[in-house]
Chain A
Amino acid sequence: MNQNLLCCMKKDARECLRCGRLALFLCLMAGIGLMIMGFTFVFSDIPEQLWAQLPGFNIENLEELVSELYPKMLRENIGIYSYYVGVFFSLIVIIVIHGILPREEEGGKWILPLQQGYDVRELILSKILVYGGFAGCSVFAGYLLYFILAGSFMERNMVFGHALANGLVHGWNMFVIVAYTLLLSELMPNPVISAVSMIATIMLMPDIATYFDFGKYLPTYPLTFVYDSRDDLGSLPMPMILNVMVLALLWIILSEREEKRLRAIAASGSEE
Chain B
Amino acid sequence: MIRVQNIQKAFGGTKVLKGVSFEVEPGTIYGLIGKNGAGKTTLMKIMTQLLPADGGSVEYTDVAEGSVGYLPDLPGFYEYLTTDEYLDFLLQDKNPIRRNKLLETVSLKPNLRIKTMSRGMRQRLGIAAVLVSDPKILLLDEPTSALDPAGRAEVRTILQNLKKEGRTIILSTHILADMDSICDKAGFLHGGVIVREVDLKESRKTASGMILQFEQEPDLKLLSQYIKPIYKIDPFTIKVLIDEQNRIESQQQILKGLSLLEQPVVSIRSTCPSLDEVFAEVCV
Chain B associates with chain A = yes
Give the interface of A toward B (CB within 8 A): 3-4, 6-8, 10-11, 14-15, 18-19, 104, 107-113, 115-117, 264-269, 272
**Contact (A107, B133) CB under 8 Å given A268-B52, A272-B53:** no
Complex interface: stretch among B75-83, B143-151, B221-229, B274-282: B75-83
CA distance A185 to B93 in the complex (A): 29
Which residues on A sit within 8 Å (CB–CB) of B78? 11, 15, 109
A7 contacts B92, CB within 8 Å? yes
Cα distance, A71 to B69, chains bound together (Å): 63
Docked pose: A266 CA to B81 CA in angstroms: 31
- Please, what's the 1-or-0 string for B52-93, where 1 marks a CB less than 8 Å from any CB in chain A? 110011100000000001111011111011000100111111
The one of A8, A107, A117, A266 that contacts B76, using a Cβ cutoff of 8 Å: A107
Taking a contact as CB atoms under 8 Å apart, the answer to whether B49 and A265 are in contact is yes
A4 cross-chain contacts in B, Cβ below 8 A: 92
Whether B50 lies near A112 (C-beta < 8 A) is no
Chain B residues in 8 Å Cβ range of A6: 93
One of B124-132, B199-207, B241-249 at the interface: B124-132
Query: A107 to B80, alpha carbons, bound, how many Å?
Result: 15
Q: Which residues of A contact B57 (CB under 8 A)?
A: 272
The contact of A7 among B58, B71, B89, B133, by CB within 8 Å, is B89
Bound complex: CA of A116 vs CA of B118, how far in Å? 24
Sample of 19 A–B contacts (CB below 8 Å): A3-B93, A7-B89, A8-B89, A11-B78, A11-B81, A14-B81, A107-B76, A108-B74, A109-B76, A110-B76, A112-B71, A115-B130, A115-B133, A116-B92, A116-B129, A117-B133, A265-B50, A266-B49, A269-B58
In B88-129, which residues have CB < 8 Å from any A CB? Answer: 88-94, 126, 129
Q: Name B's A-contacting residues (CB within 8 A).
A: 49-53, 56-58, 69-72, 74-78, 80-81, 85, 88-94, 126, 129-130, 132-133
With most chain A CB atoms within 10 A of its CB, the pick from B78, B81, B88 is B78
A112-B77, A117-B92 given; 17 more Cβ-contact pairs under 8 Å: A3-B92, A3-B94, A7-B92, A10-B93, A11-B78, A11-B89, A15-B80, A108-B75, A109-B77, A109-B78, A111-B70, A111-B76, A112-B75, A115-B70, A116-B129, A268-B49, A269-B58
Q: What residue of chain B has the Cβ atom nearest to residue A111's Cβ?
A: B72
- Rounded to whole angstroms, the CA-CA distance of A112 and B87 in the bound complex is 10
Chain B nearest Cβ from A112, distance in angstroms: 5
A7 with B56: CB separation less than 8 A? no
Tell me whether A18 and B89 are in contact in the complex, defined as CB-CB below 8 angstroms, given that A108-B72, A108-B74, A108-B75 are known contacts: no
Interface centre among B69, B92, B130 (most CB of A within 10 A): B92
The residue of chain A having its C-beta at the shortest distance from the C-beta of B135 within the complex is A115
Once bound together, how far apart are the Cα atoms of A108 and B126, in whole Å? Answer: 12
When chains A and B are docked, how far (Å) is the Cα of A99 from the Cα of B70?
A: 26
Q: Which residues of A contact B52 (CB under 8 A)?
A: 264-265, 267-269
Q: Complex Cα distance A7/B50, Å?
A: 24
Residue from B53, B75, B94 in contact with A111 in the complex, judged by beta carbons closer than 8 Å: B75
> Known: A11-B78, A272-B56, A272-B58. Contact between A112 and B92, CB under 8 A?
no
CB pair B132–A116 under 8 Å, yes or no, is yes
CA distance A7 to B81 in the complex (A): 13
A3 to chain B, nearest CB (A): 5
Q: Are B76 and A104 in contact (CB under 8 A)?
A: yes
Chain B residues with CB below 8 A from A109, complex form: 76-78
A156 to B200, CA, bound (A): 85
CA distance A202 to B131 in the complex (A): 46
Residues of B within 8 A of A113 (CB): 89-90
Contact A115/B69 with A3-B92, A268-B53, A272-B56 known, Cβ cut-off 8 Å? yes
Once the chains bind, are B81 and A112 in contact (CB under 8 Å)? no
Question: What is the CB-to-nearest-CB distance from A266 to chain B, in angstroms, rounded to a whole number?
Answer: 7
Report whether A265 and B92 are in contact in the complex, using a CB–CB cutoff of 8 Å. no
Contact A116 B90 (CB under 8 A): yes
Name the residue on A nearest B115 (C-beta): A18
Bound: A115/B132 CA distance, A: 9
Question: A18, A107, A111: which has the most chain B beta carbons within 10 Å?
Answer: A111
CB distance from B46 to the nearest CB of A (A): 8
**In the complex, what residues of B have CB within 8 A of residue A11's CB?**
78, 81, 85, 89
Residue of chain B at shortest CB distance from A266: B49
A112 to B129 Cα, complex, angstroms? 7
A112 touches B130 (CB 8 A): yes
Inter-chain contact B72/A18, CB cutoff 8 Å: no
**Complex interface: chain B residues within 8 A of A272 (CB):** 53, 56-58
8 smallest beta-carbon distances between A and B, as pairs: A268-B52, A109-B76, A108-B76, A269-B49, A107-B76, A272-B57, A18-B80, A116-B90
- Measured between alpha carbons, how far is A245 from B142 in the docked complex, in Å? 46
